Amino acid sequence: MTVEIDSNSGFCGGVIRAIGGAEKFLAERGELFSLGAIVHNEAELARLQHKGLITLDSLNAAPASFTVSPKEGSTAKAPVSANKTLLIRAHGEPPATYELAREKGFEVIDFTCPVVLKIQKSIREASRRHSPDGQIVIFGKIGHAEVLGLVGQVDGKAVVVENLPQLEVAIASGEIDISRHIDIFSQTTKSPTEYDELCAYLASRMAAPGLLEVHNTICSQVASRHKELVDFARGHDVIVFVAGKESSNGRVLCDLCASVNPRTHKVGSVAEIDPSWFSVADSVGVCGATSTPKWLLEEVAGHIKNLH
Ligand code: SF4
């Protein structure tokens, strides 16, 4: 059996930047709060938690104590210390979060990915340009942190659709008015093919040409990974896709692998690997999401190599 790790898998630039910043801060100060999981990967979160990173579910907790997310492996109450610092992760946040953090006495260190910051700015500008009649539509996961941050740029005045059927419903109900100007944006980690289909459909429904402005906001690192991953998945007998349960990018990329290679299996750690997936002559490809650490891909590959 041969086992190959996809050289293009592993953290994207935005996640590397945020984790690097958090580790540097923790080495100096020993404690850092993060609003939401800094990365959607349980194993990496546990590693950072050990170094002093405390994940908060919300800033709306009482100032005296915050609940540490149970998903990150702890249900303990984290005491709020003086001079506490809050990290804004790569997904970004709406402006209201920055205000609330300061009200709660946090010093903020902002690791919003530069790509996301650019989209946030672009949404604010599009909204101003076409005010008061323009509409903002976002193709993304409802409730996802990045999407909440994007919607927050225009005080929540944006329609979020997760897929084509939702777009059809929004048009039919009048929530999206096809006789008015529309600026459409995508969450950075969505499927480029799906976004193209959605935009083509919307363009075909608009009341007049020129009313729709499509913003190409899928992250280039994600878009190129889609193409490379299809080749990688086709080139192996079995694919083991490593991603955290909460990773939306992980779901999209794993589905992509499964669409070209039915012997695709998704795991969060070595404990979920089933030896019956492999036979001695198989070539196995190990790959992951933009939130999957390289060390975990190596651990999974090493475990599979030792099976036969
Ligand atoms: S996927 Fe792209 S946009 Fe999103 S955090 Fe990573 S580098 Fe930034």
Q: How do residues 78-107 score in pLDDT, each as one tens digit?
A: 444 557 999 999 999 999 999 999 999 999
Can you give the pLDDT at residue 27?
97
Percent of the chain with pLDDT over 90: 85
Q: What confidence tens digit (pLDDT) does each residue in 159-179 have?
A: 999 999 999 999 999 999 999
pLDDT digits (tens, 9 = 90+) for 31-65: 999 999 999 898 899 999 999 999 999 997 634 44
For the chain, give the mean pLDDT: 92
Kindly state the tokens that stand for 264.
């695709």
Per-residue confidence at 303, pLDDT binned at 50, 70, 90?
Answer: very high
Catalytic annotation, pick one of 146, 175, 213, 228: 146
**Is 146 considered catalytic here?**
yes
DSSP-based three-state secondary structure for 184:
strand
CA–centroid distance, residue 205 to ligand 1 (Å): 31
Residue 63 Cα to ligand 1 middle (Å) = 31
Q: Which residues line ligand 1 (CB under 6 A)?
A: 12-15, 90, 113, 115-116, 188-189, 219, 221-222, 290
Pick the CATH number of 115-214 from 3.40.1010.20, 1.10.40.30, 3.60.15.10, 3.40.50.1980: 3.40.1010.20
Nearest C-alpha to atom 8 of ligand 1 is from which residue? 14
Per-residue pLDDT, 71: 39
What six digits make up the tokens of 163? 């897929």
> For a substitution probing ligand 1, which of 222, 226, 291 has the most ligand atoms within 8 Å of its CB?
222
Give the model's pLDDT for residue 178: 97
- Which of 115, 144, 191, 249 to mutate for ligand 1's pocket (most ligand atoms within 8 Å of CB)? 115
pLDDT confidence of residue 159: 98
Q: Indicate if 115-214 has the same CATH topology as 2-9+220-305.
A: yes
Q: Quote the CA–CA distance of 231 and 251 in Å, as a whole number.
A: 18
Pairing of strands 159-161, 135-139: parallel
For residue 247, the model assigns a pLDDT of 87
pLDDT computed for residue 64 by the predictor: 42
pLDDT for residue 72: 44
Distance CA 50, CA 53 (A): 7
Distance of CA 264 from the midpoint of ligand 1 (Å):
24
- Answer whether 9's CB lies under 8 Å from 287's CB: yes
CA 221 to ligand 1 center in whole angstroms: 7
Can you spell out the DSSP letters for 70-94? GGGT--PEEEPPTT-EEEE-TT---
CA distances to 65, 167, 197, 216, 249 from 139, in Å: 36, 9, 11, 11, 14
Q: Ligand 1 pocket check: which of 12, 89, 187 to mutate, most ligand atoms within 8 Å of Cβ?
A: 12
Q: Residue 301 has which token pair? A: 């590959």
What average pLDDT does this structure show over 18-37?
Answer: 96
Q: Give the closest residue (by CA) to ligand 1 atom 4.
A: 188
In CATH, the number for domain 2-9+220-305 is 3.40.1010.20
For residue 15, the CA-to-ligand 1 centroid distance in Å is 7
pLDDT value at position 82?
Answer: 55
Average pLDDT in the 199-216 region? 97
- Say what the pTM is: 0.85
Atom of ligand 1 nearest to the CA of 114: 8
Domain boundaries, the chain: 2-9+220-305, 13-113, 115-214
Indicate if the pLDDT at residue 75 is higher than 50.
Answer: no
User: What single-letter amino acid sits at 132?
Assistant: P
Side-chain-facing half-sphere of 302: CA atoms under 13 Å: 7
- Tell which atom from ligand 1 comes closest to the C-alpha of 12: 6
Mean pLDDT, range 267-281, rounded to an integer: 96
Q: Give residue 74's pLDDT.
A: 43
Expressed in angstroms and rounded, the spacing between residue 188 Cα and the centre of ligand 1 is 6
The minimum-distance atom of ligand 1 relative to the CA of 146 is: 4
| b/e code 154-190 from CB counts within 10 Å (16+ = b) | beeebbbbbeeebbeebbeeeebebeebbbbbbbbbb
CATH numeric code, 13-113: 3.40.50.11270
